[in-house]
Amino acid sequence: MQSFETPASAATLWRALVEPEALSLWYGDQVIVEPRVGGRHSAVSRLFGRREAFIERFEPPGRLQLLFEPGPDWPPLAEGALLEDLLIDEHRGQRKLRVIGSGISSGVEWVPVLKQLKSGWALAFGLLQTRLRNGEIGGRAA
């Protein structure tokens, strides 16, 4: 899990998660988002590589759950699927954005993938916070 708090509105954070123009400022290039349950959410990122997911939950402006297709460099999944939940909620007068991952095996072959995801999200959230502070993402009404 990674998270951060921000004074940015929930609507601004939501745009950062689902609008391709905003995602390309902090997450990756070649962004495709079909903003609906069952839609695609994909990008090519220097932090994560190519990421292809289906949107499992689409609950503006609070929850985006992504079901990932296995990456070409991933070890086989023993069972289940890799999910990431992006959650926006109020915390101590500010908005909090969290990413919670599940479905990664505890086997040693998954250690490099988990390490890449943890460090990637830490760096990505740092860049997102910078873009929010600089006003590069934000402003419009929900």
- Per-residue pLDDT tens over the stretch 31-61: 999 999 999 999 999 888 889 999 999 999 9
d(CA 103, CA 83): 6
Report residue 139's pLDDT band, with 50, 70 and 90 as the boundaries.
low
User: CA 7, 36, 71, 46 torsion: positive or negative?
Assistant: negative
- Banded model confidence at residue 92, pLDDT cuts 50, 70, 90: confident
* E strand or H helix at 85: strand 82-91
Report whether 44 contacts 28 (CB < 8 A).
Answer: yes
Give CA angle at 102 (50, 39), nearest 5°.
Answer: 50
Query: What pLDDT, on a 0 to 100 scale, did the predictor assign at position 91?
Result: 80
CA distance 131 to 22: 9
Helical pair 111-133 and 10-18, crossing angle rounded to 10 deg: 130
pLDDT band at 142 (very low <50, low <70, confident <90, very high): very low
Please give the CATH topology (third level) of the domain spanning 2-71+78-133.
Alpha-D-Glucose-1,6-Bisphosphate; Chain A, domain 4 (3.30.530)
- The domain ranges of the chain are 2-71+78-133
What one-letter code names the amino acid at 122? A
Q: How far apart, in Å, are the Cα atoms of 109 and each of 100, 104, 122?
A: 20, 10, 22
